[in-house]
Amino acid sequence: MDGCFWHGCPKCRRWPPEENREYVGPAGRLLDRLLAFAGFSRAEVCITNVVKCRPPGNRLPAPQQVAACRPYLLG
């Protein structure tokens, strides 16, 4: 693995149900183009969530929630 992208939280936005991955639709196409420009594919990078669970109300994670999950990201 050559890189890692952190995403806000699990399914913070409404993705098409058939898409079981982060960065789909216009954002996913942009990410794919940027990765290709840099010489990478999705298979060569890790895309993960910045928090381990969805915040209440499907909102973006609060700074305290991100901080609490940081040890899982940094291993």
Span 19-74, pLDDT tens digits: 556 677 788 888 899 999 999 988 888 877 788 887 888 788 889 988 998 888 88
Domain boundary assignment for the chain: 3-74
Q: Which CATH architecture has domain 3-74?
A: 3-Layer(aba) Sandwich (3.40)
- pLDDT for res 26: 84
**Residue 13 has what pLDDT?**
52
Taking 60 as the threshold, does the pLDDT of residue 75 lie above it?
A: yes
The per-type count for the chain, helices as H runs and strands as E runs, is 2, 2
Residues 53 and 50: their CA atoms lie apart, in Å, by 9
What pTM does this model have?
A: 0.59
pLDDT in tens, 2-24: 567 666 655 555 555 555 566 77
